Amino acid sequence: MESTKETTPGTPREHVRCLILGSGPAGYTAAVYASRAGLNPVLYAGIQPGGQLTATTEVENFPGYPQGVQGASLMEDLRKQAERFGADLRSGMATRADLSFPPYRISIDSGQEIEAETLIIATGATARYLGLADERKYAGLGVSACATCDGFFYRGRTVAVVGGGDTACEEALYLSSLARKVYLIVRKDYLRASRVMRERVMQTPNIRLLFEHNAVGLYGEKGVEGVHLLYRQGEADEQRVSLAIDGFFLAIGHTPNSDLFKAWLDTDARGYIQTLGGRPLTRLPGVFAAGDVADPHYRQAVTAAASGCMAAMEADRYLLTK
């Protein structure tokens, strides 16, 4: 059954069996599986076609690439694979959702309105940054928001992690097993992390805590070579210091791209869509969430791809029971 288009006053409307929002590993993998199941999926790529991996240089921990692969190349491979099986891949992003009853209605920024029998939300999450111009300048050249993804490249080198919560402590501990030295830059004069994480960080000899420091800039010729810091920013005795580092890791959290769906789906305190029983099911029948938008714990390309696979299989099963 192909998608069908229906014109209504003012707004073109299209009916599809499976609509996928997002084009990261979760979205493209869902498109592969949904296409092979004969669901004729339509995928809208969203604000960042290919997802966060397109801003990453080399990816070494995705299965099937023994020599590693550039993030943009990996996403291009996934896109071509989805196209090969017939997925209808489109540019554009969702601007409004009405999930009050099926078929679910999604408005696209082009003015198109989609009616979907099943909906796979794979809109991802956005890493939080400090807002420094240098973060963009050195993106992929020493600036990272994922120690698990990029820590390998800093074996035996010196890195800095920004943050004071559990995530920052976890990132610093992970990097401490690879890097020669890890600076943990903390804005406050204490760690917000849980007691066990605080103790682990403080007991790790190659982690140095820099309390009451704020990163205000980065420097380097071809990549990050150091960070400019302000000690006790805004106070009478504030001091500006520069610290030589090879890598700069942000660990101040992620924001799931779930705002459109919060009126209809359950989310946790941080906005991650809550799924049921370890599966990509939401509380609405025929609506599934996959990838980082529903994953506050792992946020890896391989786990996102796996959840995209599961979401498409669940969508197929749901349609078979209708």
Which two three-digit tokens encode residue 218? Answer: 């980065």
Establish whether 98 is a catalytic residue.
no
Establish whether 149 is a catalytic residue.
yes
Which two three-digit tokens encode residue 133? Answer: 């111009």
Which two three-digit tokens encode residue 278? Answer: 């370890």
Options 18, 88, 134, 149, the catalytic residue: 149
Establish whether 150 is a catalytic residue.
yes
Options 18, 88, 146, 292, the catalytic residue: 146
Cα gap 37→233, rounded to integer Å? 57
Residues 6+ apart with CB under 8 A from 22: 43, 44, 45, 46, 51, 121, 122, 123, 124, 257, 291, 293
Options 88, 134, 150, 295, the catalytic residue: 150
Cα gap 26→123, rounded to integer Å? 9
Helices 25-36/71-84 angle, 10° precision: 20
Tell which residue, 256, 305, 311, 257, has the closest CA to residue 282.
311
Which residues sit opposite 58 in a β-bridge? 70
Catalytic residues: 146, 149-150
